[in-house]
Amino acid sequence: MKTIAQLTYIPLETHNPREKVQELLEHLAQFDVQIEVGYLATTIIGHPDVVFEAIQELYKIMAVESSKFRFHVELLSPEAG
């Protein structure tokens, strides 16, 4: 089974939000997940344990590096396989 998660990170109180988003995408690339970057959200697909670990790690990074942010996580129906 593969878990599908759509992630949207909105850094607030920054002059360069694209840079903050790019930094998180680079960190996300370290996980064994398939990454599909969209205009408004990034989709990750992988083993449930890895997907949830990635979400947790990204949240920790955001909490340390950003004073204010929004992080939307949407979990989609799992894929067989």
**Residue type at 10 in one-letter notation:** I
Residue range(s) defining the domain that contains residue 26: 2-79
Q: What is the pLDDT of residue 81?
A: 56
pLDDT band at 56 (very low <50, low <70, confident <90, very high): very high
53: domain CATH number?
3.30.70.930
Mean pLDDT of 26-48: 96
Q: What is the pLDDT of residue 66?
A: 81
pLDDT band at 14 (very low <50, low <70, confident <90, very high): confident
Number of folded domains that form the chain? 1
Cβ atoms of 44 and 28 within 8 Å: the answer is yes
Q: What is the DSSP string of 10-53?
A: EEES-S-HHHHHHHHHHHHTTSSSEEEE-SS-EEEEE-HHHHHH
